[in-house]
Amino acid sequence: MKKGTLAFGAIALASALVISGCSAADDGNGTETPQFEEGTTMAKLAEQGSIKIGTKFDQPLFGEVGPSGTPEGFDVEIGKLIAKELGISADKIQWVETVSANRETFIQNGTTDIVIATYTINDKRKESISFAGPYYLAGQSILTTKENPAGIQSDADLVGKQVCSVDGSTPAAKLAEIGAIPVLFKTYAECIDPLKLGQVDAVSTDNVILAGFAAKDDTLQVVGTPFTDEPYGIGVGHDDDAFRSFVNDVLEKIYANGDYRAAWDATAGKVLPYVNPPAVNRYSN
Ligand code: GLU
């Protein structure tokens, strides 16, 4: 017993020394320097004291660059909470714009350490990257003008219609599958003018993204009910199981301690109702 206590004391002292040693991750604002197993992504990021997080720059409520010049939104807040658990303060996060089509590539080639970008978990993407989460359940829906000249009310009405979405997204694939005529851009923001000019009949992507655009422009409306399941995950390197598990631990921690709720309330929660987060899926493959 005594030996165990001494050993514990020695470890506690050693970590106290590391913390007071002002490592790169100590921002002087009470951000503690956590200890991670050598060789892990967590240890690498904690040691370098910075992280590259991919997110959207054009999507209100989840990830949008406003006048501040740095992105704001629910995904951004989740990113800050993950960075904090690595001992990295918000000002040491390098935000990288990811569009729907480059997310897997950016994770694979190291442009980003992690992607938090309204990113649906699916098997095809899991062939090249891995996902922590889900941390939110969205679903594909439809945005029209309030005039809605094509009279679109549901996904059935999209058949044969020009519907704007984004290259490399799950909604774009769904539009093709149901017989709509997809008109694809790099970002959803690029769909708004064509919709307002009547060049497309509707815009289709996740309900929560569309709700953000509708909240900013009262000539637009979200119609119908969601017709797909879009569980949002956090993209990490393929088979980086330790990092994926760490991010899942952070999610469970912020679900329990109220940080997830506070992040929601400060961002998407200004427009959308709060829903309890889904259970994380620690899948194996
Ligand atoms: N969640 C969907 C996806 O990951 C649509 C939103 C997006 O393109 O980011 O493809």
Residues 75-91: b if buried by 16+ CB within 10 A, e if exposed: bbbbbbbbbbbbbbbbe
- The mean of the pLDDT values for the chain is 91
Q: Is the CB of residue 115 below 6 angstroms from any atom belonging to ligand 1?
A: no
Res. 4: pLDDT tops 60: no
**Segment 130-172, tens digit of pLDDT:** 999 999 999 999 999 999 999 999 999 999 999 999 999 999 9
pTM: 0.89
Q: Count CA within 13 A, CB hemisphere, residue 250.
A: 22
**Mean local confidence (pLDDT), 226-237:** 98
Name all domains of the chain by residue range, CATH numbers in brackets: 8-138+231-270 (3.40.190.10), 140-223 (3.40.190.10)
Strand partners of residue 58: 64
pLDDT computed for residue 33 by the predictor: 72
Q: Is the CB of residue 120 below 6 angstroms from any atom belonging to ligand 1?
A: yes
Q: Is the CB of residue 145 below 6 angstroms from any atom belonging to ligand 1?
A: no
Q: Is the CB of residue 31 below 6 angstroms from any atom belonging to ligand 1?
A: no
Rounded CA gap, 29 and 158, in Å? 52
Residue 101 has a CB neighbour count (10 Å cut-off) of 14
Res. 217: pLDDT tops 60: yes
Q: Which numbered atom of ligand 1 lies nearest the CA of 119?
A: 4
> Distance, CA 168 to ligand 1 centroid (Å)?
8
Q: Please name the residue whose Cα sits nearest to atom 6 of ligand 1.
A: 118
**Mean local confidence (pLDDT), 22-45:** 73
Rounded CA gap, 272 and 267, in Å? 9
Q: Please name the residue whose Cα sits nearest to atom 9 of ligand 1.
A: 118
Res. 81: pLDDT tops 60: yes
